[in-house]
Amino acid sequence: MWSSVDQQTKINSFVNGLHVGKVHHAYLVLGPQNSGKGFFAIKMAQAVNCTGTNAPCGTCVPCSKIWLGTHPDVEMIDSHSFNESTANAKILKDVAREIRNKANLRPYEAKYRVFLIGEAKKMTLHTANALLKLLEEPEPNVLYILVASSEQDVLPTVASRCQKIRLNKMSVTDAVEFLIQEAGVDISDATEMAQLAQAGIEWEGDRENDRTNLLQIRARFANISSVIESSLKSQLKYADQLVSKWSENDEAVRDEIQLWLNWWRDLLMVKIGMPSLVICSSQIDELDRNADKYEVSGIKSAIAVIQETIDCLDHNVNPKLAIPYMVLHAGLKNVTHGANGFAFKH
């Protein structure tokens, strides 16, 4: 929805190359701040592993997992993921070792193992040189996608081994312009509506109705955050309400569960240092506050539980069983994921 002509043309060109076997082993996605280069890089990762008929479809299992940041063959690597205690974090040399080890493994369930490196300018010289060796001797079915504001942010020898994709405007910007100019939406609302559209939320194009729907989504996001932080008794009460509503309007309950998925996905983006990819941007302060309470593994576990719940409901599992299970296991306060399943963070 509202994808910019520039980005759509370039993703189409990339996909056309896939069809004829012209896939470079490394790409450098370039664009100014807020150009949508992060979203574009995710689309590339989706495209090479998409099982739908029109890659990237955004709805098949691989596309969904990549979007949520839970695909086992797609690594989203960002400086904040590895050194959260330092404001000016640098991608550590250990990351290069981790990439090298994983690059030698065959993809677990996808066609390509993808390494998406955000903020490539923060790589140390050691890491960049280690990455260079990988680019010089690429493994089959491994794709590297580096993201940077300009080519000068990347070691010249690394940049020279990457195919460049330069972006101008991001699709969210085009969406904001459309909403403001054509639908008369306020700029603060238009930005968030455009980001929510990236997650599949559809808007009517009616200013008043869309404003009402946006306020409802914000309230529901805030309520989900409250439920996750609430007592066991409150969580069970919330789950009972969803179960009761299921018989009347199962689609509304499915939408609510999708918002749970988006909440945890946004929290993951904040946690790994990619806040520009957050969908419900009005909740960024709340997400930032919650990010310190959870481990990445715990967040991914919560996402997995919600995905499992959606799958169970699609296969007619009794909602009286599936929904309370989801609320309790994706609503555990300060949860992390250990070797034996869920465990409380100390």
Question: Is there a domain that residue 346 lies in?
Answer: no
Inform me whether the pLDDT recorded for 27 exceeds 90: yes
Do residues 313 and 271 share a domain? yes
Question: Is there a domain that residue 257 lies in?
Answer: yes
Contacts of 16 (CB under 8 A, 6+ apart): none
Question: Is there a domain that residue 149 lies in?
Answer: yes
In whole numbers, what is the pLDDT of the chain averaged over residues?
A: 82
pLDDT given for residue 81 in this prediction: 45
pLDDT given for residue 206 in this prediction: 66
Do residues 156 and 14 share a domain? yes
SS3 111: coil
pLDDT given for residue 90 in this prediction: 52
**Which residue, of 148, 169, 190, is where some domain finishes?**
169
Do residues 208 and 164 share a domain? no
Inform me whether the pLDDT recorded for 2 exceeds 70: no
**Which residue, of 169, 189, 211, is where some domain finishes?**
169
Inform me whether the pLDDT recorded for 24 exceeds 50: yes
**Which residue, of 123, 152, 169, is where some domain finishes?**
169
Inform me whether the pLDDT recorded for 87 exceeds 60: no
Do residues 247 and 165 share a domain? no
- Residue 35 and residue 4 in contact, taking contact as beta carbons nearer than 8 Å: no
Contacts of 284 (CB under 8 A, 6+ apart): 270, 275, 278
Question: Is there a domain that residue 159 lies in?
Answer: yes
Neighbours of 98 (CB within 10 A): 15
Do residues 212 and 138 share a domain? no
Inform me whether the pLDDT recorded for 164 exceeds 70: yes
Do residues 208 and 161 share a domain? no
Question: Is there a domain that residue 195 lies in?
Answer: no
pLDDT band at 338 (very low <50, low <70, confident <90, very high): very low
Decide: pTM greater than 0.75.
Answer: no
Whichever domain contains 59, its CATH number is: 3.40.50.300
pLDDT given for residue 6 in this prediction: 67
Do residues 156 and 240 share a domain? no
Angstrom distance (rounded) from CA 30 to CA 261? 29
pLDDT given for residue 84 in this prediction: 40
Question: Is there a domain that residue 311 lies in?
Answer: yes
pLDDT digits (tens, 9 = 90+) for 251-296: 889 989 999 999 999 999 999 988 888 888 888 998 998 888 888 9
Inform me whether the pLDDT recorded for 112 exceeds 70: yes
pLDDT given for residue 180 in this prediction: 79
If one counts the domains in the chain, the total is 2
pLDDT given for residue 58 in this prediction: 87
CA 148 vs. chain centroid, Å, equals: 18
pLDDT given for residue 253 in this prediction: 93
pLDDT given for residue 279 in this prediction: 86
Neighbours of 69 (CB within 10 A): 23
The arithmetic mean of pLDDT across residues 94-99, rounded, is: 74
Do residues 332 and 247 share a domain? yes
SS3 124: coil
pLDDT given for residue 264 in this prediction: 94
Question: Is there a domain that residue 219 lies in?
Answer: yes
Could you give the angle at which helices 284-291 and 207-228 cross, rounded to 10 degrees?
20
The arithmetic mean of pLDDT across residues 61-73, rounded, is: 92
Do residues 37 and 106 share a domain? yes
pLDDT digits (tens, 9 = 90+) for 209-242: 788 889 999 999 899 989 988 888 999 999 999 9
Domain that holds residue 76: 5-169
Question: Is there a domain that residue 179 lies in?
Answer: no
Could you give the angle at which helices 61-68 and 296-314 cross, rounded to 10 degrees?
150
pLDDT digits (tens, 9 = 90+) for 113-125: 999 988 787 777 7
SS3 27: strand
pLDDT digits (tens, 9 = 90+) for 140-149: 889 999 998 8
Do residues 140 and 42 share a domain? yes
Do residues 209 and 153 share a domain? no
Do residues 100 and 209 share a domain? no
SS3 336: strand
